[in-house]
Structure 1
Amino acid sequence: MGIHLFLWLLSVTTSCLGSTNVFNDKRELQSKFFNEDWMMSIPDTTPLSAITIPGTHESLSLYGGPLVCQVWTLENQLSVGLRFFDIHAGIWIWTQKYLYIRDRYWMFSQGKKVDEVLECIAKFLEVHKSETVLMMVTLHGLYKDTAKELWATLVDTYKNIMLTSNSVPNMEQARGKIVLLQSHNGPSGGAQVQSSPFFKNNELISHKVDTMELRLDVCKSHFVLTDMETKRFRIKSQKNLARRVNQQIYNVVLQSKKSSASQGCLGVFGMIFPGAELIKAMTLLRPCDCGGAGTPEATPEPTPEPAPTNTRTSTWTNTRTNTRTSTWTNTWTNTWTNTRTNTWTNTWTNT
């Protein structure tokens, strides 16, 4: 591939790849598509931002006619391998004691509390300890200060499994944890996020992207997010949008897989109506090579200091009389050198 990853606006249709499942609008998820522990093989030292992570845009907008963005429940999204979730929540009236999930336009309730979302994710991570979940929370409504207070209470409740630092953790630090990402209208805290270099206005950018630039983007101290943009009251158009953009994302994944220099340097994706095979293809990419950050390095053995050399010469004469046999004089010289391996030489003469 040289030093560039080539990205096209390809004029291919879904039929070009046969039955590739890049789009899904069916609520049922067959168990053959479960992909619950795909992060297990990722080295502990890998920065989380250097992993291609599939996720969903408006992850829990399951109801609302033209504003529907997903069909799988949160449980099914976790089971199929999705690990990034875009959550929109708030309170409708000031007397509410819980944050409720709604669509991004704040029109349709999804009948679920944020408490329930966090509990569901926590239960999943308790069983699948090798995994991590990225979460971006956007707060809506007229009472955002109250919403922020309610969110702060939830963070404190789940503080043992929630990372809110603005830095990117590595895989070891993130396993079994929820990693909060910063949102423009979200609560404080969370890792920094940069917009994707791949798409603009839901179109694949038709130019070369330097592989070094890609690697620098995802290996820095922030996440790179490709997030789809949906249109209000255009459900048919949204599904057509998902078919087209998901196909383009799949093409990018295939191109990345062929590149030895930039495989896996794609970042995080927030998709609508993603298909199981598209998700699987993303999880099979190896992490981006951040100059060895994703591969444990052998710790070099320290170079031992040279052992002191001791040279000593001793000369003495022993005279002893043995009345049973004879009288003899035993004279010898003992000279040795003491090094790390303790070798020495002895010379002597007997008379």
Structure 2
Amino acid sequence: MGLDRRGFLRGAAGLSAAGVLAGAGSGQFTAAAAPRKHSRRRTLSVQDWMSALGDATPVQRLTVPGTHDSGARHGGPWVACQNTTVDAQLASGIRFLDVRCRAVDDVFAIHHGAFYQELMFGDVLDSCRTFLTAHPSETVLMRVKQEYSEVSAEEFRRIFGIYLDAKGYRPLFRLEPGLPTLGQARGRVVLLADSDGLGGVRYADPQLFDIQDDYMTEPFGKWPKIEAQFRKAVARPGKLFVNYVSTAALLPPRSNADRLNPQVKTLLESAEGSSWRGLGIVPMDFPNEFGLADTLIRHNLAGRGITLVG
């Protein structure tokens, strides 16, 4: 994408003040039972969509709308992957965040390639903490990856530890290994660690994950891979499937999203696709432009007599 030719900004923004997460992560949330055949439909906000699901639900049986390169809103058309803030993404039903961290001294600046995104890791964590405190039925699955720095895994882990302890974010995270049930994850951020030694679930562990992330395939070639991954998740459940709709090939991310996102929506709302369950994590660019978060959320709610509202 020619990022190096366009220069970069070093992250100098201050960290948001850290606090202590109160009352989250208890895992004690009882979902309402599915209504009887003749009972009234009830409404459910997209902000609380996980409240309809039982505590025993494994996360790998969910269909989770997510954003690819969640903080990437600045740097021009070849860099921006989103046009809404992390706060707005969570409020719209997004429950997977792809967080790219540049190690700068003792902090993480959020980057997409060379471009600083006017956002710090503490800002992302504050957004998650505020949201989960207000909506304790929910969880956020967060991939944390090093971006545009090349410090050792040990140094990256040291800085991450500063956020956990010196900055007070440890209570926000679920750092246990293995994929949790929804009850074990409620009210917390489930760390999907894309760097050695951070704790949590090791992202892309082939024993746990099945990932489609062919980010350098143009839309005509990418679409069959997306569709095949959906079908595989339905036919061979067990692992946590991840199906990246995003691609950076040939055209800017927004242009590719304008081509791929409507195809995904059409497939998932078709007579065949609407019956699919347990599609896993679906990271997208610009999902708000096409209502894809709502479409994916509904794959968790079928047969429960629920009308989803914004």
Aligned twin of 1:269: 282
Cα deviation for residue 251 of structure 1 reads 2.5
Residue type at the aligned position of 1:62:
R
* Match of residue 80 from structure 2: 68
Q: Distance in 1 between matches of 2:134 and 2:95?
A: 15
Deviates more, 1:143-152 or 1:83-92: 143-152
Once the two structures are TM-superposed, the CA of residue 248 in structure 1 deviates from its matched residue by 2.1
TM-score by length of structure 2 reads 0.69
Q: Distance in 1 between matches of 2:228 and 2:155?
A: 43
Q: Which residue of 2 aligns with 1:142?
A: 150
1:283 paired to 2:297: yes
Of the structure 1 ranges 71-80 and 140-149, higher mean CA displacement relative to structure 2 is found in 140-149
- Tell me, yes or no, if the aligned pair for 2:144 and 2:195 is still in contact at 8 Å: no
SS at 2:107 equivalent: coil
**Separation (CA, whole Å) in 1 of partners of 2:216 and 2:248:** 15
The Cα shift of 1:58 comes to 0.4
Give, in whole Å, the separation in 1 of the partners of 2:231 and 2:86: 36
Aligned to 2:259: 244
Deviation string, structure 1 residues 176-211 (Cα, Å, up to 9, x no partner): 010112426894532543214999935232799699
TM-score w.r.t. length of structure 1: 0.61
Cα 1:248/1:164, change in 2 over 3 Å: farther
The match for 2:8 is none
- Give the 5 Å matches for 1:150-299: 150-156=159-165, 157-183=168-194, 187-191=198-202, 192-196=208-212, 201=217, 203-205=222-224, 214-215=233-234, 217-218=236-237, 220=238, 222-231=239-248, 237-255=252-270, 260=275, 263-275=276-288, 277-286=291-300
Residues 240 and 129 (structure 1), Cα distance of their counterparts in 2 relative to 1, 3 Å cut: same
Q: Which residue in the other structure is 2:5 paired with?
A: none
**Native 8 Å contact 1:181 1:190 kept in 2:** yes
**Which protein has the larger Cα radius of gyration, Structure 1 or Structure 2?**
1
Correspondence for 2:116? 109
> Using a 3 Å threshold, how does the CA distance of structure 1 residues 63 and 171 change in structure 2: closer, same or farther?
same
- What's the CA shift string for 1:109-157, capped at 9, x where partnerless? 1122212211210111001011110100111303244232111232343
1:269 CA drift (Å): 0.8
Q: Describe the SS at the equivalent of 1:149.
A: helix
Aligned partners of 2:141 and 2:191: how far apart in 1? 6
State how far apart, in whole Å, the 2-side matches of 1:272 and 1:47 are: 26
Shift of 1:229: 4.5
1:47-83 CA-to-partner distances (Å, cap 9, x unmatched) read 1111110010000001111201101011111111111
Alignment partner of 1:46: what SS?
A: coil
Gapped regions of structure 2 (runs ≥ 5): 1-44, 203-207, 303-310
| Paired residue secondary structure (2:260) | helix
**Is the CA contact 2:230–2:279 (under 8 Å) kept in the aligned structure 1?**
no
- Matched to 2:291, the amino acid is E
What is the aligned residue count?
Answer: 245
User: Separation in 1 of the partners of 2:230 and 2:286?
Assistant: 29
One of 81, 93, 97 as aligned partner of 2:106: 97
